[in-house]
Structure 1
Amino acid sequence: MLGAVPRAVGRALLTPSLADVRFAGRGFPGRDSPAARGLEAVPEAVICGFEWGMEARHLWEAEHRLETVDAALRGFAYEGATMAFTVRDALPAGRSDRTRELMLGPGRPHTFLAYIGIGFAMARLPRPLWKGVLPELADNPYHPTMSWLAVDGYGFDLAYFHTERWVDRKETARPYPWLGSPDYFPRAFDQGVGRALWFIQGARCDAVAEAVAGFPEERRADLWSGVGLAAVFAGGAAGDALSALLRSADAAGPHMAQGAVFAAKARVFSGFVPDHSEDAVRALTGMGAVEAARLADEHAVEPGRHGGVPAYEVWRAGIRAHFR
């Protein structure tokens, strides 16, 4: 078991300060937007979850703390705890099944965000350690297809904390053979960058559209998908502004709607759908969260590669086809 001293050292080295995740501290252009304070609560919940995950000697200790978080933010706290457990599992000494135990146990309702937490850990681990970060979840119907959300989380983390490189300079991710599909890795990465743009711009829809438009055209569809997911799950914009943003996406509108559907599915699966998620998914898809989650289920596919295409992308494409 990882001792108290290594846990404390790891927590000190890896945990961003609250000031570092707040928009003003990061110098984000959306730092003064009306939605900024509400959006900042998301990374703050992740930090709390990470600290609790690094401190916990037993799963029940982490669970007890995580379940005290407000239901709208609880998934983000589990995201942080999964990040912590993934880091601890990657270390050479001691046990290596904390992440699996969490995701099969109390973290199961937050499966989608837990995968993102794995991606946050990947941003802090050398690539040679990535091969062991994905736990075996045989009893989870979304595994391993939805594990591409870990790559999404990796992209979000780098865009959020290294904005100049990944957003301003618009560098592209180096491929990695996640689930045997290295060519898809940069696309899933960009989906996370799109989510980060929602936070960086403080949910100001005009600014988000302008930020996406600044990327090469071939990357914008995946960015729009990430924007749609963040707008529904994290909130921050009213329905009329989201409807206008959807029009800004133009031909990539189905990608944005697909991201919104995945966010609705994640919220419904967690057992709690906040009002802002319900309103946002209606604005972007014309359906409520439960109906959108049902649409996601209807297009689910078997794990693996389908004609060389990851099951995750086949799933996403099926949802997009609905909106065309």
Structure 2
Amino acid sequence: MMPLPLGTLLKPVFPLSADAFPKMAADRFGAQEDMDKTWLTFEPVARTLVDSFYMTLDHPEHRSLVPRLDASPPGLRGIAYEGAGMGLMLLDSLFPYRRRLPAFIHGPGAPYRCLIYIGAGLVLPRVPVSPQRFLSRQDPFLRWLVMDGYGFYEGFFSWRDIVERHRTPRGIHGYAARAFDHGLGRSLWFSTGANVERIIDTIHTFPARRQGDLWSGIGLACAYAAGVMDRNAIVTLLEAAGQHRADLATGTAIASIFREQSGQPAPHTDLACDVVWRREAAAVAAIAHSAGHPVARGGIADGASPEPAYERWRQEIRAVWLGTPVPASTAKEPGA
């Protein structure tokens, strides 16, 4: 008898279903007329993520994994690699001697490394691995994207504790808590069905000190994920962000980097960048790259500054949007 594929064996332990996503949104907000229409756009994203996750468990070797990921439609290929990050993270937690995730990030997955880190973070809440310890072993600049994925997962699947009660998981502190909120904000975009009023109302329930990072997550989701918003809706979000508009702009700029790295431009990324930055996505990505030069000249390793290099880069992007020099320190909390 042929052994069952690992993905099949692990489904009862790590159940994920794209069909559950719209049901969760309806449970939180009740039946909403716009949800079904929005889900038609979200569905390919959710299915690609889930299917790639289970496929990676069955085909983790690069020579068989990469062609399967690259067979995804161009606009969804980055999501497929994010799902691969999920699968490889789970495999590494079960069989730590293989270290499949870093080999993939520094190998054929390198063009999608940002999304692979986010995918790894999506699995982190479900495996017996200390988040802070796992972070300490990752790239010092990009490791905060792991916490972005962690925040997305918890915001989506632990709504009552994380969103309604405004809790942060135990052991998440310092800058890791801020990166967690980036992902939490991104999850709100999906959880609310990308409805402007629901997004605004939900963010405004959070303490003011957390709202900037949540708006940043909204900016990233709006510009990167499935395009369901028109120009007027994005304008409304930008206006509603108020004093946190620069944070939303920062998330939008990072989304433009994600699109550039994956080599797959998207009209909704250009639209969001045009509304927020008055530039097309490629020009915003160039701004984000340039904003990283001062950080790189100062060294990217954390520890030389009270803020992680990733946050210093974000501050440089924010300052370009504001049109002002970066203050000596704008951190809301000291770095982890």
TM over 0.5: yes
Residue pair 1:23, 1:31 contacting (<8 A) in 2 also: no
What displacement does 1:162 show? 1.3
Residue pair 1:154, 1:189 contacting (<8 A) in 2 also: yes
User: Relative to 1, partners in 2 of residues 1:69 and 1:6: Cα closer, same or farther, differing over 3 Å?
Assistant: closer
Structure 2 counterpart of 1:36, from 36, 39, 51 = 39
Q: Secondary structure at the match of 2:77?
A: helix
What displacement does 1:315 show? 0.7
What displacement does 1:289 show? 0.9
What displacement does 1:28 show? 4.6
User: Relative to 1, partners in 2 of residues 1:213 and 1:115: Cα closer, same or farther, differing over 3 Å?
Assistant: same
Residue pair 1:258, 1:319 contacting (<8 A) in 2 also: yes
Distance 1:174 1:285 in 2: 37
Pairing 1:155–2:157 present: no
Match of 2:191 in 1: 200
What displacement does 1:49 show? 1.0
Pairing 1:63–2:66 present: yes
Residue pair 1:24, 1:31 contacting (<8 A) in 2 also: no
Match of 1:123 in 2: 125
Match of 1:171 in 2: 167
| Higher deviation after alignment, 255-264 or 204-213 | 204-213
Match of 1:214 in 2: 205
User: Relative to 1, partners in 2 of residues 1:70 and 1:321: Cα closer, same or farther, differing over 3 Å?
Assistant: same
Deviations 1:42-97 (A, max 9, x none): 2221111101110015222121211111111111111111111111112246x422
1:221-300 equivalences under 5 Å are 221-234=212-225, 235-300=227-292
Q: Secondary structure at the match of 1:35?
A: helix
Q: Secondary structure at the match of 2:206?
A: coil
Match of 2:333 in 1: none
Structure 2 counterpart of 1:47, from 45, 50, 56 = 50
Distance 2:135 2:165 in 1: 29
Match of 1:111 in 2: 113
Match of 2:325 in 1: none
Residue pair 2:132, 2:171 contacting (<8 A) in 1 also: no
| Higher deviation after alignment, 194-203 or 167-176 | 167-176
User: Relative to 1, partners in 2 of residues 1:12 and 1:255: Cα closer, same or farther, differing over 3 Å?
Assistant: same
Match of 2:90 in 1: 87
Match of 1:19 in 2: 19
Distance 2:33 2:262 in 1: 29
Distance 1:281 1:195 in 2: 17
User: Relative to 1, partners in 2 of residues 1:83 and 1:135: Cα closer, same or farther, differing over 3 Å?
Assistant: farther
Where in structure 1 are there 5+ consecutive unaligned residues?
Answer: 137-142, 177-181
User: Relative to 1, partners in 2 of residues 1:215 and 1:120: Cα closer, same or farther, differing over 3 Å?
Assistant: same
What displacement does 1:150 show? 0.6
Residue pair 2:135, 2:143 contacting (<8 A) in 1 also: no
Distance 1:198 1:102 in 2: 29
Pairing 1:185–2:184 present: no
What displacement does 1:218 show? 0.8
Letter in 2 for 1:216: P
Q: Secondary structure at the match of 1:145?
A: coil
What displacement does 1:244 show? 1.6
Distance 1:320 1:121 in 2: 30
What displacement does 1:130 show? 6.2
Distance 2:44 2:161 in 1: 25
Match of 1:139 in 2: none
TM-score by length of 2: 0.85
Distance 2:33 2:121 in 1: 25
What displacement does 1:206 show? 2.1
User: Relative to 1, partners in 2 of residues 1:31 and 1:169: Cα closer, same or farther, differing over 3 Å?
Assistant: farther
Match of 2:75 in 1: 72
What displacement does 1:214 show? 1.1
Residue pair 2:215, 2:248 contacting (<8 A) in 1 also: yes
What displacement does 1:144 show? 3.0
Match of 1:319 in 2: 317
User: Relative to 1, partners in 2 of residues 1:57 and 1:213: Cα closer, same or farther, differing over 3 Å?
Assistant: closer
Q: Secondary structure at the match of 1:299?
A: helix
Letter in 2 for 1:166: I
User: Relative to 1, partners in 2 of residues 1:317 and 1:41: Cα closer, same or farther, differing over 3 Å?
Assistant: same
What displacement does 1:7 show? 5.2
Letter in 2 for 1:153: G
Residue pair 2:7, 2:55 contacting (<8 A) in 1 also: no
Where in structure 2 are there 5+ consecutive unaligned residues?
Answer: 323-336
Distance 1:83 1:219 in 2: 27
User: Relative to 1, partners in 2 of residues 1:45 and 1:255: Cα closer, same or farther, differing over 3 Å?
Assistant: same
Distance 2:110 2:87 in 1: 16
